[in-house]
Amino acid sequence: MRTPAGRLTLSRVGAVCGIAHVALFVAIIGFTPAIPIPSESIDVIASGTQEHSLGIRLGLYLAALMTFALIVFASAVAVRLQRAGSGDWWMLCGVGAATLSMGLASEGDVLSFVRAVGHGVRGDALWMSYPPAPDGFGMAVPAGVFLLGAGLGGLASGAFSAWLCRLAVVLSGGFLAGGAGIVGNEVDGGPFGLVLVLSFVGMWVWTVAISIRLWRTNLLVAPEAGVARAEA
């Protein structure tokens, strides 16, 4: 009976990746340097980037690992919804999980800027490769799609607690509204940028809670898997 065993493994891997995603996110924000904000002069930005080049590139690598962990976690959530009988909502959740990798596009912009500075590019030409949007903008819509599918799918199937499902729907709206930060202040996105930040914080809480649920589900379903194997 390989199917139950595979399901349990995915639940636990997804749970671990969910916690890892949050831990990496916090580590990146708290311990790795970033390119200076665009309100500084281009010379100050170039100097700061050159000085912290290694730390910025390390942060980009951690961001790639963070994205990997998020995609695995989101995939585990989508599969859980599908097996719980969520109708078609699990597909929306799965599509959101797949598109979360779009966040890597903004990391590519940062890497291009760091490489340009490292090769001696200076002056106004550097603005051509400066990351074009507030932090997190690239993940706003994919995260909104994923959370909408997870929330409505969870409500339809009972796969997760109702409060977690409702929180997911609220956070989905927060991410979509926060994406409007691109029309605000170029440093922090203005009021909409604050909504985006709060949505990320809420997603951390939601991810940890869902990860715990996925891990506990493994323990709850394991006896049923044992019965199935015995009957086989």
What confidence score (pLDDT) does residue 2 get? 44
- Token pair 């440093």: residue: 187
What confidence score (pLDDT) does residue 223 get? 40
What's the DSSP call for residue 122? -
Q: What's this model's pTM, rounded to 2 decimal places?
A: 0.84
Per-residue burial over 164-203, b = 16 or more CB atoms within 10 Å of its CB, e = otherwise? bbebbbebbebbbbbbbbbeeebebbbebbebbbebbebb
- Token pair 């980009």: residue: 60
What confidence score (pLDDT) does residue 186 get? 64
Q: Where are the domains of the chain?
A: 2-225
What's the DSSP call for residue 129? G
Q: Which residue, 59, 156, 149, 67, is CA-closest to 111?
A: 59
Give the Cβ contact number of residue 22 at 10 Å: 21
What CA–CA distance (Å, rounded) separates 193 from 178?
A: 6
Reported as a single tens digit per residue, the pLDDT across 200-210 is: 999 999 999 99
Give the Cβ contact number of residue 224 at 10 Å: 11
Contacts of 41 (CB under 8 A, 6+ apart): none
Give the Cβ contact number of residue 230 at 10 Å: 8
- Token pair 């309100």: residue: 39
What confidence score (pLDDT) does residue 3 get? 44
- Token pair 């922090």: residue: 188
Residues of the chain with pLDDT under 70: 1-8, 133-135, 184-188, 218-232
What CA–CA distance (Å, rounded) separates 170 from 147?
A: 9
